[in-house]
Amino acid sequence: MANKILYSETLILEVYLIGYASQGESIVFLLKADGHVSYAGVVDCYECYSINKTIEILTSEGVEKIDFLCWTHPHDDHTLGLNKILDTFCSDNTKIWITDIYPQSYDNYSQPSIKLYKSLKDRIKSGNSKVKIATDNKLLATLKCYGLQTYLFEIWSFAPNSTILTERKEFDKPEKGNPYSIGLSIFAGRFNIMLGGDVENETIDRFEEEYFDTPIDYIKIPHHGSSSGDMLPEKLDLFALKPPNIATSTVFTGHDLPEDKVLQRYKKWGTSEIYITHGLDCVANREKYGVVLTSFDILEEREYPIETILLGNSISYN
Amino acid sequence: MIEFKPSYKTILSNNDRITHEKKDGSFTPKYRLPNTGGVIDRRSRVPGSRFKSRLIDERIKKDGK
C-alpha cells in the first residue's frame, strides 16, 4: 500500500460497526476517494448463522485485499471468521496488528482462537512479516490524501496499556483478556474516531491527557457497553473534551450488554446520537445482524459532514 | 489531466507517479503533486468544535415513510 492517495471531488471515510443478535463485533472502515475504495481496514471479525457481514461488506464494495487488519484480542466474539479474512483478504501489503498475549494467559482462550493467535505470533518470530504488536500510543498506519488540499489519515493505538501488561508479566498473573485489548484512534482530516475495543476501566484510568487532546466525533463504546468500561465519558470529560456526536455499541446478550446505565452515562455527558447494532428487546423474525454505517466527509463540504445509516437490526437508542 | 474512472483504484507512489490499479493490469502516467501547502489534520481542529451530524435510516427510506 502506498502512503499517498489522490482525490479529485470527494474524500469519504465510512465506518461500519457490525454486530450480531447475541454477540460478536467487527468493524470495517473504507477510505473512499472519488467514490472508490483507496484504503480498506478491518478490526476484528465474527460470524454466525452462516452470516459474515465483514466479508459481505468487503465483497460488495469490491475490496479484494485490505490494507489494515487489527485483531484487538483473541476472545471468540472478536475472532470467529478472522481466519477467512487473513486467508482471503490479506496480502503481503496488509499491515496486521495484534496484541501481545503472554503465554501464561493462553489457557484463558478457546483452542481455535489461541491456535490462530500462535500462528500470527510465529510469523512475527520469523522476522519477515507484516504482523506487528500494537501497544499504547503507537502509530499503526499513516497516509496523505492529495487533492486541492492535503489531508492526513492516521491510525494510532491508545491501548493496551504497556505498564499494566508489564505488571501482569512480572507478577505472573494470568489474565482473561480485556487488559490486552487494543483500542484505536482513527484520525481522518479533522475527524477523530475512537474504537474502544474491549478496553476496561483499569486501562481507561491510566489514559494520558496529552494523547486525548482533540475533540472526538465518534466513540465505539468499549466492551459492548459494560460497566467494566464505563469510566470513559468521565475520563474524557476530565480532559475537558466535549462529548462526541455519536456513540455506538454492539451487544452481548449473555451478559446483558450494553447496560442501560452505561448508555445513560454517554447521554448525560451530552452525546446526541447513540446507536446499537441490535435492539435490546428480543423480537422474533428480525435480522440476525445489525450494522451502523457512519460516513465522515473529510473535505467537510456536506451540510452534515457526519451521516449515519442503520442497517439490519440496528437501532437508535433514546 | 488525469481522468478518474470509478472502476479503478488511484494511488500515488513514493516517486509521485500515479497508478490506476485494475484487476487485469495497471498503467502509470506521470503526474506532479498538485499541493505544496499545509496538511489538514486533527491539530487544525478548533478546540471544543463539533461537526453537524444526522441519522439517515435506510429502513425508513425503503418503507417510504
What is the pLDDT at residue A233? Answer: 98
Looking at chain A, the whole-number percentage of residues with pLDDT higher than 70 is 95
Q: Residue A88: how many CB atoms within 10 A of its CB? A: 13
Comparison of pLDDT for B10 and A198, the residue scoring more = A198
Alpha carbons A187 and A271: distance in angstroms, whole number: 19
The reported pLDDT for the residue numbered A287 is 67
pTM: 0.89
> For residue B8, what pLDDT is reported?
55
Q: Which residue of A has its CA nearest to B21?
A: A38
Is A176 near chain B, with CB under 8 Å? no
pLDDT, greater one: A200 or A176: A200
Query: With contacts defined as CB-CB under 8 Å, which chain A residues touch B4?
Result: 8-9, 34
pLDDT of residue B19: 62
Residue A221 contacts residue A262 (beta carbons within 8 Å) = yes
Contact between A190 and B55 using a beta-carbon 8 Å cutoff:
no
CA-CA distance, A142 to A154, in Å (whole number)?
A: 4
In 3D space, the residue among A291, A259, A254 whose CA is nearest the CA of residue A76 turns out to be A254
pLDDT at B47: 82
Residue the block writes with cell 460516513: A295
d(CA A277, CA A289) in angstroms, rounded, equals 7
- Alpha helix stretches (DSSP H) within chain A: 53-60, 82-84, 111-125, 162-170, 201-204, 232-238, 260-269
pLDDT at residue B59 in the model: 65
Q: What integer best gives the mean pLDDT of chain A?
A: 93
Residues A95-147 have pLDDT tens digits of 999 999 888 778 888 999 999 999 999 999 998 789 999 999 999 999 999 99
What does the pLDDT look like over A254-311, one tens digit per residue?
Answer: 999 999 999 999 999 999 999 999 876 655 545 689 999 999 999 999 999 999 999 9
CB contacts under 8 A, B 24-63 vs A, are 31, 33-35, 37-45, 47-59
Segment B5-39, tens digit of pLDDT: 455 566 666 655 566 666 555 544 444 444 445 89
**Would you say A61 and A37 are in contact if contact means Cβ atoms under 8 Å apart?**
yes
Q: Does B4 have pLDDT greater than 60?
A: no
CB-CB under 8 Å, B4 with A308? no
Task: Give the three-state DSSP class for A255.
Answer: helix
Q: Residue A102: its pLDDT value, please?
A: 83
Is residue B44's pLDDT more than 90? no
ipTM at complex level: 0.88
Stated as kind and residue range, the H or E segment containing B60 is helix B58-63
Q: How far apart are CA B20 and CA B26, in angstroms?
A: 6
Q: Please give the Cα distance from A274 to A272 (Å, whole number).
A: 7
Q: How confident is the model at residue A190 (pLDDT cuts 50, 70, 90)?
A: very high
**Alpha-carbon distance A144 to A96, whole Å?**
20
Q: What is the pLDDT of residues A47-98, one digit of tens each?
A: 998 899 999 999 999 999 999 999 999 999 999 999 999 999 999 999 999 9
Does residue B2 register a pLDDT over 50? Answer: no
Predicted pLDDT of residue B17: 59
pLDDT confidence of residue A182: 97
Q: Do B8 and A36 touch (CB under 8 A)?
A: yes
Q: Among partner residues B31, B35, B54, which is closest to A307 by beta-carbon distance?
A: B54
Contacts of A23 (CB under 8 A, 6+ apart): A46, A77, A224, A250, A251, A252, A253, A254
- How high is the pLDDT of residue A101? 87
